[in-house]
Chain A
Amino acid sequence: MTSGNELSRRSFLSRGAATGGLVMLGAAGASVLAGCSSSPSTSSSTTAASSSGGKPGVNTGTPKKGGSVTIGTLAEIDGFFPPSNHWDTNGFLYANAVYDPLMWVAADGTVQPYLAKSLTPNADFTVWTMTLRSGVKFSDGSDLTSTVVKNNFTALAASALTGTALKGIASVDTPNPLTVVYNLSAPRPAFAAGLTSQVGYVVGQAMLDQTAAGKTPTPIGTGPFIYSSWQPNDHFTATKNPHYWRSGLPYLDQVTFKPIPDDTQRAATLKTGGVDLILTNDPVTIKAFTGSSQYQLVDSLTDSIGEPTVAFVMLNTAVAPTNDLRVRQALAKSLDVKQILKIFGGGYTKAINGLFQPGSPFYVSDTGYPKYDLAGAKALVNQYKAEHGTPTLTLTTVTDPRLESLVQIIQQMWNQVGFDISVASIQQATLITDFITGKFQAATSYQFGAVDPDLNYVWFSTTTVSPVGSIGLNFPRNSDPQIEFSLQSGRTSSSQSTREVAYKKLNQRLAADLPYLWLEQYPFAMVGDQRVQNFAGLTLPSGAAGYGFDEGIIFPSQIWLNG
């Protein structure tokens, strides 16, 4: 039920490829509010870390080979073809079994080659040259060549789903079988980060050909495991790739993914041994496993790089009464976010003041975001009332028991300062349509997880603002030239300090314009039983430590079983 409702309960967490950002509209099973502590020490210290490494879910000891692991996921993957399937957290999880991303993120936050051997820009970041590793084969025996990478690019660029993300790439050249040259139409220092997303996953030529012929082929990838069977909504199984290009990997013989949409039932299945690892974004579940001596828990709040996924209430700046800044300020000031978070995750998550969190180079300790201030909120409401009458608005959410509780808490807080609030819960598909066309006043959502802030360009840009009724990706329709200026400067500059200034400014402008009322960093957690080792550990091909737990996305190739 939890989401059950809608029974729908498929989660539409879509992660970013396409636009590089993450659109996660609270869905199924997804709870917005979650929990947690953002201080790294809390969770990791209470979690039974498996042996060495100190970090939960990471074991740098000598791995044992063999065995199989079953992972309980939130929902089913759409499919395995990057140009036409919409990958969410689950999608990437499955993808990392059979494919490899061209680039991935290192533990220090830098973007490093993974399937690619190297990726180097020219001086002004308009030409990026990628070298491929020699001898890498797809699961059907064909070679990974620059032509295949280019053909993947062509399919991705032609797709309605992923084309937008590749618009800045004017052409792709293949001077030799192991070299791919991307020619961009404008400087793009964060280009490499884009290749960690859906557009950075490469499939075999046969898969491209079969799809073009109207078939739905089984996945052909270079990944650590080879497709074995897929029964959508039941299980996906992949077996060890004996010819994997990363020698010695994977450790497991087999990995299976089982979608179990209900959070409570997923946890129960872990406890009964039906699965070995579960992914969850439910604070109740996370809390229940925190500190358990029988299970290992890794959560995104203690370990996240780049721009994390955050939960917020989105306000439409193009419709009354939320087009009045005083109304948005009053709404912000009357939200006791700490109280909200306490009710939900037992205080597991922490209130946030913007897109970036402590530890990020773009973090600003005081963004100017309004503080909780009931008197101030009332005064603003009274001002508005005097001119226009009582501000009345509807707060919308996706059908989900947790989200419905959330909006009821917010409703009570807003009503207390003089608003007349009604709440509504509607289906995911309807809500997304309403976002895109600007037909909402206030709505809960969560979004913005990305390794580089530039990947979220479209959501804030003035160029994506459309009138209410027509399609626009700037959902709140907040048109702020200063934001556009910052976004452009962050996008085109290669200087870290310039970028820091730009994105700090973005954060401050959002706090002033108030298209989003920030709630919390959204938690993703992976819970495993004690046998499962190193499920959140990742060593990049270069030997450097990788980002092994990216908001729920792990690399099954380096998991091993103890005993």
Chain B
Amino acid sequence: MTKYFIRRFLQLVVVAFIISVLCFMLVHLLPGDPSVVILGPNDTAHNRAVLFQELGLNKPLYQQYFVWLGAVFHGNLGQSYLNHESVTHIVATGFPIDLELIIISQVIAFGVAIPLALVTSRRPNRTLDNVSTTSTFGLLALPPFVIAPIMVAIFAVGLHWFPATGYVPFSQNPAQNLHDMILPSLAITAGSIAVYYRLLRSDLISTLQEDFITMARSKGLGNRTIMWRHAFRPSSFSLLAAAGVNIGALLAGTFIVEYLFAIDGLGYSLVQAVQQRDYLVVQGIALVVAIAYVVIQFIIDFLFTVVDPRVTRE
């Protein structure tokens, strides 16, 4: 077990390192540079040289990279060229917001997908099953930028149930915060529901045909017990695996929702930073996202062992 953890940790370090190098190279390859954004019309040769000196952008690329990496080891991710906000701060405020958005959306997705799958898998191809299979899959055709404006028009502007944009920090008012996060979370939930429901339903259907379920039934166990205790656990592997990849994709992938709802998350900050050539912000966020991804995969792997302790790792 210890060996496994060490291996995982090493993997995390290696992946994070490779991603930071890739990211560094990619953003530096982009046409345009921060001086254009910072200086605008004053981007003359002289001013540019002064600024590059100030920002350390005049050094060779590999040196810039190692300077950055050295600072990272001291817990310093640098600061934005534009507003001088520390990258650590950007990450520290943005990451929890993304995380909350992801958690709420995933809770909703699981909350809809699991019960629905448990109910419909018992009677496949009945009306309820057909309707839910069809409608959830159709959700894949509704990207967040279609769902969001429609929901805002109905639930915010029309019914005044939710705010159209913005949120109150969780620390300030947890209830209000959850309320404010509902629309943005719902906008990214649709795709997850479809995928989770589909996977769980088909796995449950196969599991329910397994002999041990039949045996459990013959022992006279109730439906509820059978579904939850006996069928759900062995059927949740695909679900977990899909959740891992899906959550990975949502990390910094929620930029459209963040943009629309004016939420200060990592995704929109990352896209903005790439477009403004704010290199250090891009690198910092990419690093954190990569680490988070590896950690999430790690948690998922751990959950596999919880679901079925006999899972062996080759």
A and B touch in the complex (CB under 8 A): yes
Contact residues in B for A436 (Cβ distance below 8 Å):
36, 41, 43
Q: Are the C-beta atoms of A160 and B164 separated by less than 8 Å?
A: no
Q: Are the C-beta atoms of B40 and A260 separated by less than 8 Å?
A: no
Is B198 an interface residue when CB atoms closer than 8 A count as contact? no
Q: Are the C-beta atoms of A269 and B164 separated by less than 8 Å?
A: yes
Contact residues in A for B255 (Cβ distance below 8 Å):
7
Interface residues of B in 226-267 (CB under 8 A from A): 255-256, 259-262, 264
Q: Are the C-beta atoms of B41 and A473 separated by less than 8 Å?
A: yes
Is A313 an interface residue when CB atoms closer than 8 A count as contact? no
Q: Are the C-beta atoms of A272 and B163 separated by less than 8 Å?
A: yes
CA distance A274 to B261 in the complex (A): 12
* Partner-contacting stretch, out of B2-10, B114-122, B149-157, B305-313: B149-157
Chain B CB within 10 Å, residue with most, of A19, A86, A266 = A86
CA distance A232 to B90 in the complex (A): 9
A39 to chain B, nearest CB (A): 31
B32 to chain A, nearest CB (A): 4
A/B interface sample: 17 pairs, CB < 8 A: A1-B260, A9-B259, A19-B41, A19-B42, A78-B83, A160-B50, A232-B264, A234-B264, A268-B164, A272-B156, A272-B160, A428-B37, A428-B276, A429-B33, A429-B275, A470-B45, A471-B45
A450 to chain B, nearest CB (A): 13
The residue of chain B having its C-beta at the shortest distance from the C-beta of A27 within the complex is B275
Say which residue of B32, B261, B268 sits within 8 Å of A427 (CB atoms). Answer: B32
Contact residues in B for A4 (Cβ distance below 8 Å):
256, 259-260
Q: Are the C-beta atoms of B37 and A8 separated by less than 8 Å?
A: no
CA distance A129 to B287 in the complex (A): 54
B31 to chain A, nearest CB (A): 5
Say which residue of A161, A231, A260, A471 sits within 8 Å of B93 (CB atoms). Answer: A231
If the complex has contacts A264-B149, A269-B164, are A163 and B47 also in contact, measured as CB distance less than 8 A? yes
Contact residues in B for A162 (Cβ distance below 8 Å):
42
Q: Are the C-beta atoms of A265 and B165 separated by less than 8 Å?
A: yes
Q: Are the C-beta atoms of A85 and B83 separated by less than 8 Å?
A: yes
Interface string of B156-196 (1 = CB under 8 A from A): 11001001111000000000000000000000000000000
B272 to chain A, nearest CB (A): 6
Q: Are the C-beta atoms of A429 and B165 separated by less than 8 Å?
A: no
Main SS class of interface, A: loop
The residue of chain B having its C-beta at the shortest distance from the C-beta of A162 within the complex is B42
Is A432 an interface residue when CB atoms closer than 8 A count as contact? yes
Q: Are the C-beta atoms of A8 and B275 separated by less than 8 Å?
A: yes
Contact residues in A for B164 (Cβ distance below 8 Å):
265, 268-269, 271-272, 274
Is A21 an interface residue when CB atoms closer than 8 A count as contact? yes
Interface residues of A in 1-24 (CB under 8 A from B): 1, 4, 6-10, 12, 14, 18-19, 21, 23
CA distance A77 to B84 in the complex (A): 11
Contact residues in A for B271 (Cβ distance below 8 Å):
6-8
How many A-B residue pairs lie within 8 Å, measured between CB atoms? 164
The residue of chain A having its C-beta at the shortest distance from the C-beta of B45 within the complex is A471
Is B39 an interface residue when CB atoms closer than 8 A count as contact? yes
Contact residues in A for B275 (Cβ distance below 8 Å):
6-8, 10, 427-429
If the complex has contacts A261-B259, A262-B262, are A432 and B32 also in contact, measured as CB distance less than 8 A? yes
Is B85 an interface residue when CB atoms closer than 8 A count as contact? yes
Task: Give B residues with C-beta under 8 Å from A.
Answer: 31-33, 36-48, 50-51, 79, 82-85, 90, 93, 145, 149, 152-153, 156-157, 160, 163-166, 255-256, 259-262, 264, 268-269, 271-272, 275-277
B38 to chain A, nearest CB (A): 7
Interface residues of A in 398-441 (CB under 8 A from B): 427-430, 432-433, 436
CA distance A21 to B42 in the complex (A): 11
The residue of chain B having its C-beta at the shortest distance from the C-beta of A14 within the complex is B40
A12 to chain B, nearest CB (A): 7
Is A45 an interface residue when CB atoms closer than 8 A count as contact? no
CA distance A383 to B145 in the complex (A): 48
Interface string of A261-282 (1 = CB under 8 A from B): 1101110110111100000000
Contact residues in A for B47 (Cβ distance below 8 Å):
160-161, 163-164
CA distance A545 to B77 in the complex (A): 49
Contact residues in B for A164 (Cβ distance below 8 Å):
42, 44, 47
Contact residues in B for A264 (Cβ distance below 8 Å):
149
Is A458 an interface residue when CB atoms closer than 8 A count as contact? yes
Contact residues in B for A272 (Cβ distance below 8 Å):
156-157, 160, 163-164
If the complex has contacts A7-B271, A8-B275, A258-B166, are A14 and B83 also in contact, measured as CB distance less than 8 A? no
CA distance A324 to B185 in the complex (A): 55
CA distance A162 to B46 in the complex (A): 13
If the complex has contacts A232-B83, A430-B32, are A161 and B38 also in contact, measured as CB distance less than 8 A? yes
Q: Are the C-beta atoms of B44 and A471 separated by less than 8 Å?
A: yes
CA distance A318 to B110 in the complex (A): 61
The residue of chain A having its C-beta at the shortest distance from the C-beta of B276 within the complex is A429
CA distance A77 to B78 in the complex (A): 20
Contact residues in A for B36 (Cβ distance below 8 Å):
429, 432-433, 436
Contact residues in A for B84 (Cβ distance below 8 Å):
79, 216
CA distance A160 to B262 in the complex (A): 32
Q: Are the C-beta atoms of B32 and A216 separated by less than 8 Å?
A: no
Contact residues in A for B152 (Cβ distance below 8 Å):
265, 268
Interface string of A149-187 (1 = CB under 8 A from B): 000000000001111100000000000000000000000
A227 to chain B, nearest CB (A): 14
Q: Are the C-beta atoms of A8 and B165 separated by less than 8 Å?
A: no
Say which residue of B93, B260, B269, B277 sits within 8 Å of A262 (CB atoms). Answer: B260
A561 to chain B, nearest CB (A): 20
Is A228 an interface residue when CB atoms closer than 8 A count as contact? no
Is A76 an interface residue when CB atoms closer than 8 A count as contact? yes
Is A259 an interface residue when CB atoms closer than 8 A count as contact? yes
CA distance A78 to B261 in the complex (A): 20
CA distance A260 to B272 in the complex (A): 14
Q: Are the C-beta atoms of B83 and A260 separated by less than 8 Å?
A: no
Q: Are the C-beta atoms of A86 and B163 separated by less than 8 Å?
A: no
Q: Are the C-beta atoms of B276 and A274 separated by less than 8 Å?
A: no
If the complex has contacts A10-B272, A232-B264, A271-B157, are A161 and B42 also in contact, measured as CB distance less than 8 A? yes
CA distance A262 to B37 in the complex (A): 21
Interface residues of A in 38-87 (CB under 8 A from B): 72, 76-79, 85-86
Contact residues in B for A273 (Cβ distance below 8 Å):
160
The residue of chain A having its C-beta at the shortest distance from the C-beta of B277 within the complex is A429
The residue of chain A having its C-beta at the shortest distance from the C-beta of B255 within the complex is A7
Q: Are the C-beta atoms of B40 and A432 separated by less than 8 Å?
A: yes
Contact residues in A for B256 (Cβ distance below 8 Å):
1, 4, 7
CA distance A216 to B84 in the complex (A): 7
B28 to chain A, nearest CB (A): 13
Q: Are the C-beta atoms of B261 and A160 separated by less than 8 Å?
A: no
Q: Are the C-beta atoms of A18 and B41 separated by less than 8 Å?
A: yes
Say which residue of B37, B79, B261 sits within 8 Å of A12 (CB atoms). Answer: B37
